[in-house]
Amino acid sequence: MPTTAAATAKAIADAGIERVFGLPGGEILVLIDELRRAGVDFVLMRHEANAGIAAAVYGKLRGQPGVVLTTLGPGAANLMLPLSSAYLDQEPLLAISAQIPTEFPDSHTHQLLPLREIYSPLCRYVDTITKQDAGDVVRRALGECMRRPFGPAYLTLSAREAVKDTAASLVDVARGFQPRDRGPERAALRGGVDNGDALQRARELTALLAKATRPLVLIGLGIHSSNAQRIRRWVTDWNLPVAVTPKVKGIVDETAGNFVGVISGMAADGLMCEALAASDLLIGLGLDPVEVDKTWHAELPIHWLLESANVGGRLPSGVALVDHGRLLDALEAERAPARWPAPFQAFQDKRRRLLDDRTESVGTMWPGDIIRALSSAVPSETIVTTDVGSHKYLFGQFWPSRQPETFWMSNGLSGMAYGLSAAVGAKLARPDVPVLAAVGDGGFSMNAQELETAERVGAPFVTVVLEDGSYSLIKLAQEGRKLERYRMDFGPIDTVKMAEACGVQGLRTSNPDEMASAVKAAVERRRSLVIGVPVNYEDYRRLF
């Protein structure tokens, strides 16, 4: 008879999950050991929140749930950020933590938190693993994470329950369950979509497009990356103007002539909002307003094409789901009903010129030069992660993404301390692809210690820290509201020394050519590198 911990580990291993991220406590030692025996690596990190973020990105890139494991009480409490992130950013994440055994006396309150109650509103499945049902509960939780929109599930396992014998044999526990992302078609079918409808919906859209002079396709978090080629063929063959939200950057080639820009609160958002208002047909292909910090999605008419509900199970009123794959196939069989000769050219030109509108700040690097130097130094398959702040607005709008799943930021939750942890998960999921993390000096100081994790687990990547000695995005907001300048600046922490303290080479430069050649060399040698780049926060004003 396997123990409950052994059955839990086996269910995770049988699901094809090769790594679990976390930070230990005595109460999960047995489960960590059973995971080891089952061939599942435990990626030891330095904060549970970072472990959860890394796990979710690792999982989503592998088309399966990420798994994060923590102790009870404080370790479990630190899961609020990654579970919130998985909920709002549609990332499949299973969190498992220890809990006080139910058989403990009522008087035992040490480290006792109402964890199930705390995480129930965020998670689509919350349960307790027991010796009776360990395998089934784990399988169910993993499956729920992969139901679209992807999201989190949460399980507890007490240290006492972990060592109890289950009723099942390990053979019974293993059912060959693979909670893999099988693509949108099946997801749509599971949601009860009438797929015969796709042809009809394609005809309706074609008729609308026939009358439109300034159509704009808005692609959002609800599309599936497996439809990238179909989407590219459609917008290219029909020469349709297209904009994306940051979470799906790279789904279309952002260097192509029909790319209008990135919508949803990045740099140049005023310009993007003007472009949206100038359109006479907005097509919301998988558009999830969870990424939008303004309300245009409710004020402008949008022709919604969704194949699953948006975050929180929400749907714009009256919208019926449609399978994107079938819809795009049906559109491909049609001819473009009209021609749209670059109706957004003026906006595109203005957007491009913003990066050239440089200031002559001394000793700092113009943000446009950071983008140009880095994008010239890394290949197009490079995965870029950002943290949250002014630098996210910069990279979100101007990083020229060319391939799907190559850009990762927290934009539903917009939580700081995402970028570096996401880079750890991304590099472990795609070891052959270069990874570049762009973070602010505020966010960097929240989790720079994970650089040591990255070195230890063999996940080298390049980190660029944009140094302005402040929480610059909030400082700009303070100034914008004409409030007194107050408490937005912090003292310097030496980025280079911080990197070196974690065993990583560091460099500080305000010269774009020096930065580009250092990044190129690090990528070629597959080495980690941290570059501190001084920036003038006032430069961002010209871009936002």
Ligand X SMILES: Cc1ncc(C[n+]2csc(CCOP(=O)(O)OP(=O)(O)O)c2C)c(N)n1
The residue ranges that bind ligand X (CB under 6 A) are: 387-391, 414-416, 440-443, 466, 468, 470-474
The minimum distance between CB 508 and ligand X, in angstroms, equals 16
Q: Rounded to an integer, what distance in angstroms lies between the CA atom of residue 382 and that of residue 402?
A: 9
Closer of 82 and 286 to ligand X (Cβ): 82
Nearest Cα to Cα of residue 282 among 209, 369, 230, 334: 209
Q: Which residue is listed with tokens 């009480």?
A: 73
- Measured from the Cβ of residue 128, the count of other Cβ atoms closer than 10 Å reads 15
Closer of 127 and 387 to ligand X (Cβ): 387
Q: Rounded to an integer, what distance in angstroms lies between the CA atom of residue 529 and that of residue 506?
A: 6
Closer of 348 and 463 to ligand X (Cβ): 463
Burial class (CB in 10 A: 0-12, 13-18, 19+), 414: middle
Q: Rounded to an integer, what distance in angstroms lies between the CA atom of residue 469 and that of residue 274?
A: 33
Nearest Cα to Cα of residue 282 among 252, 262, 256, 305: 305
Taking the CA atoms of the chain, what radius of gyration do you get in angstroms? 24
The minimum distance between CB 166 and ligand X, in angstroms, equals 40
Closer of 441 and 450 to ligand X (Cβ): 441
Q: Which residues contact 295 (CB under 8 A, 6 or more apart)?
A: none
Closer of 34 and 468 to ligand X (Cβ): 468
The minimum distance between CB 500 and ligand X, in angstroms, equals 21
Q: Rounded to an integer, what distance in angstroms lies between the CA atom of residue 421 and that of residue 366?
A: 26
Amino acid occupying residue 160: R
The minimum distance between CB 412 and ligand X, in angstroms, equals 12
The minimum distance between CB 194 and ligand X, in angstroms, equals 40
Closer of 81 and 142 to ligand X (Cβ): 81
Largest pairwise CA distance in the chain: 74
Closer of 234 and 418 to ligand X (Cβ): 418
Q: Rounded to an integer, what distance in angstroms lies between the CA atom of residue 422 and that of residue 433?
A: 14
Closer of 99 and 510 to ligand X (Cβ): 510
Which token pair is 215? 């159509």
The minimum distance between CB 467 and ligand X, in angstroms, equals 8
487 sits in which H/E element: none
The minimum distance between CB 377 and ligand X, in angstroms, equals 21
The minimum distance between CB 187 and ligand X, in angstroms, equals 30
202 sits in which H/E element: helix 197-211
Contacts of range 206-211, beta carbons closer than 8 Å, 24 or more positions apart: 206/331, 206/334, 206/337, 207/337, 208/281, 208/303, 209/238, 209/240, 209/281, 209/336, 209/337, 209/338, 210/337, 210/338, 211/281, 211/338
The minimum distance between CB 387 and ligand X, in angstroms, equals 6
**Is the link from the previous residue into 149 a cis peptide, with omega within 30 of 0?**
yes
Closer of 212 and 384 to ligand X (Cβ): 384
Amino acid occupying residue 378: V
Closer of 81 and 96 to ligand X (Cβ): 81
Nearest Cα to Cα of residue 412 among 273, 302, 282, 314: 314
Closer of 318 and 492 to ligand X (Cβ): 492
Q: Which residue's Cβ has the minimum distance to ligand X?
A: 440
3-state DSSP call for residue 107? Answer: coil
User: Are the C-beta atoms of residues 423 and 437 closer than 8 Å to each other?
Assistant: yes
Nearest Cα to Cα of residue 241 among 331, 330, 340: 340
The minimum distance between CB 150 and ligand X, in angstroms, equals 22
The minimum distance between CB 496 and ligand X, in angstroms, equals 17
The minimum distance between CB 281 and ligand X, in angstroms, equals 34
For strands 152-156 and 93-97, give the pairing. Answer: parallel
